[in-house]
Amino acid sequence: MANRKKLLGIYAVMSVVVVAVAFPVIWMFIMSIKSADELYQFPPTIWPENLEIGNYTKALIEAGIDKGLFNSLVLAAGTVLVSVAFSIPAAYALAKYDFKGKTILLLAILATQLIPGMAAIVPLFDILQRLHLVNTFSGLVLIYTARTLPLNIWILKGFFQSVPNDLIESAMVDGSSKLVSLYRVALPLALPGIGAAAMFTFIQTWTDFILPLTMLFNEEKFPFSVMLYKFVGDPIMGTNYGVLFAAASIGTIPTLMIFILLQRFFVQGLTAGGVKG
């Protein structure tokens, strides 16, 4: 009986925490389906008296938020593919082979995460300019890859360490090369780690604001996060908060879907990176 009361108490506390964390997103959705008059009503209504679905059609059709979503999808998908592809062999080598300077290399990879993002913007812009990649998606993918690669390597390193060496050695005895043993034996067992790394990379790229605002000049190339900022104080439409909240709600759907689909990998990735690394 005492254990049951304790369990109920834990569930009650967890429920309060979940509601508190999710409240900004829930309130954003509620505001997105309110009419313009009701948005400024005081005291505010908890649930709208009249549903205003038109905010969503205005955000998608009139404001062209769909173009921003497509650009964000291109950037996020491209970064996921490049970053995960490069992190797999690097993490495998660090997990399964001993070589001189390995510890220093691991610390150096970890130290890159200590550099503040804002401090690196000017040098990154200069590098992209020299490479003629300013105002291009490929330049941004290159920067995002450099930012996400260290964390992905640490996540995948933990998963590759958990793959038994006997399995890899057996494959090599049967004639597989090191590269073939990686892709046929180790990689399938590390799929949860790959899923976690892909999700981390996708969310970090999708939600970034400063880099595309700095590196992109053509509004046709603006991702969703920058386009959303352009809604505020628009000289023609003004600040239509109903459309703004509707656009923000639409933009949360891809990350929400990714999180729901890969939630299991996300938890395993945190454990592997934090404990086994």
Please give the Cα distance from 109 to 200 (Å, whole number).
17
For tokens 């023609």, the residue is: 236
* Residue-level pLDDT at 275: 45
* Residue-level pLDDT at 237: 58
Please give the Cα distance from 225 to 232 (Å, whole number).
12
Please give the Cα distance from 193 to 152 (Å, whole number).
9
Tens of pLDDT, residue by residue over 79-122, are 999 999 999 999 999 998 888 888 898 888 888 877 777 778 88
DSSP state, residue 50:
S
Tens of pLDDT, residue by residue over 68-86, are 899 999 999 999 999 999 9
Pair of tokens at residue 86: 């490069």
- Measured from the Cβ of residue 225, the count of other Cβ atoms closer than 10 Å reads 22
What domains, with CATH codes, occur in the chain? 59-275 (1.10.3720.10)
Pair of tokens at residue 170: 């057996």
Name the stretches of the chain with pLDDT < 50.
273-277
